Amino acid sequence: MADTLPGRCAGLGLRRALLDALIEAPAGAFDFLECAPDNWIGVGGALGEKLVALSSRHPLSCHGLSLSLGGPDPLDADFLRQTRDFLDRHRAVMYSEHLSYCSADGHLYDLLPLPFTDEAVRHVSARIRAVQDALGRRIAVENVSYYAAPYKALDEAVFINAVLADADCDLLLDVNNVFVNAINHGDDARAFIAAMPGERIASYHVAGHFDEADDLKIDTHGAAVKDDVWALLAHAYATHGVRPTLLERDFNFPPLPTLLAEVERIRALQADAP
């Protein structure tokens, strides 16, 4: 199995509710799978065997949930060792985490936004560098959706660019998060994408969201991808080039063929991209 993914490929999130359907999926239905190691470390038995079966058959990308890259608590060295073992055991082709924090004197069970300040750039960049050293690999960080900004001394795009440069890491560009934030905060989604450093984009995510109101979108990963987000993904491809792209779906799962139709739409947009 290849240690890296080709640029033009489309993946699907590996969720427990989909395990059997993914195992039985026809060959070529998706190019890679993505899972959260946090939800699988230490899992054995029948579930663990199914994960091994899938990771031995398909390239596996990993997307962390609980490292709390921007948090105030010390990085969890034991968890980092467990994560490295997981990535090595399953020959993960990529590892990413969120540019956010989820713990402060204990887990907060949410991905909370960082203040967009020079101090936060230095803090989170140092922690990303430490994570890369502990994992023995380069990682990507994901732009997150947020509904209130704790402090914006810097523009978000400037903040992200500064972190990527200072930490010397890559970017997982979540196109749905860009769209949701643009609507909720009155920003320009296409200008944000244009401001991202294309040479650092390792992959894209695309997902569905909930329309609470015309000016309020909730990032749920529980619905089909909206047409506006598909259009923004096509724009990202045109701006920065095609990269491995994952369809995220975390609940309200339709039959697998419905999800695979969205995977095929990713492939179609990739085929049409310059």
Q: Tell me: the pLDDT tens digits for 219-263?
A: 999 999 999 999 999 999 999 999 999 999 999 999 999 999 999
Name the average pLDDT for the chain.
Answer: 95
Q: What is the pLDDT of residue 2?
A: 47
Q: Which residues contact 44 (CB under 8 A, 6 or more apart)?
A: none
Q: What is the pLDDT of residue 39?
A: 95
**Separation in Å, CA 220 to CA 210, 217, 225, 252, 267:** 6, 9, 11, 10, 23
209-213 vs 216-219, strand pairing mode: antiparallel
Rounded to an integer, the average pLDDT of 149-153 is 89
Q: What is the pLDDT of residue 108?
A: 63
Nearest to 64 by CA among 29, 31, 103: 103
Question: 212 is written with which tokens?
Answer: 């609470």
pLDDT tens, 173-231? 999 999 999 999 999 999 999 999 999 999 999 999 998 999 888 899 999 999 999 99
pLDDT-derived band at 43, boundaries 50, 70, 90:
very high
Q: Is pLDDT at 109 greater than 70 in this prediction?
A: no
Rounded to an integer, the average pLDDT of 135-160 is 95
CA atoms of 113 and 117, how far apart (whole Å): 12
CA atoms of 229 and 234, how far apart (whole Å): 9
Q: Is pLDDT at 97 greater than 60 in this prediction?
A: yes
CA atoms of 270 and 7, how far apart (whole Å): 9
140-142 vs 170-174, strand pairing mode: parallel
CA atoms of 100 and 116, how far apart (whole Å): 11
Q: What is the pLDDT of residue 4?
A: 86
CA atoms of 128 and 62, how far apart (whole Å): 16
Neighbours of 110 (CB within 10 A): 8
Q: Which domains, from first to last, does the chain contain?
A: 10-272 (3.20.20.150)
Q: What is the pLDDT of residue 1?
A: 41
Q: What is the model's pTM?
A: 0.96
